[in-house]
Amino acid sequence: MTTTARWSTHPRRYASATAGPIPPDHRTDAPRPIAVTAECDLVRRSSTSTDSQSFSVREFLLLDDGNRVGLREGLEFTFGAPFTDVREGLGADALITAIRNVVLPEVSAADPDRPWDCLVQLARRRRVQTCADELALLPYEVHLTEDVLRWL
């Protein structure tokens, strides 16, 4: 299942992900980003309990040459429902909303008009030339793995 939407701001902080120097821009013919994508998968666990389930999210830039460049991974969240099966009432739309809450760009207290800086810095560290204005216009696609779709 794939859904596409535009980014909006979220007050999460990603200071550790953006620490360090940003490499300089390189070639003008370098591939350009055409979308930001997030891929959600199940976190495997040994418990057979049905009252919670954890998910992992990896975030990528899709480039115009067809390559995917990883931005962040290891983002996780958990749904829980005490005394009942967590799947009751949980559909793909609710899961996609939760994924967006995990990955949306931060709003900096110092500069609330520039929520894209985190992703720009991550992209440049991976040698992708981009800017905040360009990222703000890109579609954001959420992909649920086959394991997640079967679990739902």
99-122 pLDDT, tens per residue? 887 777 554 454 555 667 788 888
Chain center to CA of 142 = 8
Residue 116 pLDDT: 75
Domain ranges for the chain = 2-151
Residue 69 pLDDT: 93
Measured CA to CA in angstroms, residue 150 lies from 1, 19, 123 at distances of 11, 38, 32
User: Which two tokens mark 38?
Assistant: 């997030």
**φ and ψ of 118, to 5 deg:** -60, -50
Residue 143 pLDDT: 93
User: Residue 100: what residue type?
Assistant: R
Residue 136 pLDDT: 83
Question: What's the CA gap between 118 and 80, in Å, rounded?
Answer: 29
In this structure, are residues 12 and 108 in contact, taking their beta carbons and an 8 Å threshold? no
What's the predicted TM-score (pTM) here? 0.70
Residue range 56-76, pLDDT digits in tens: 999 999 999 999 999 988 888
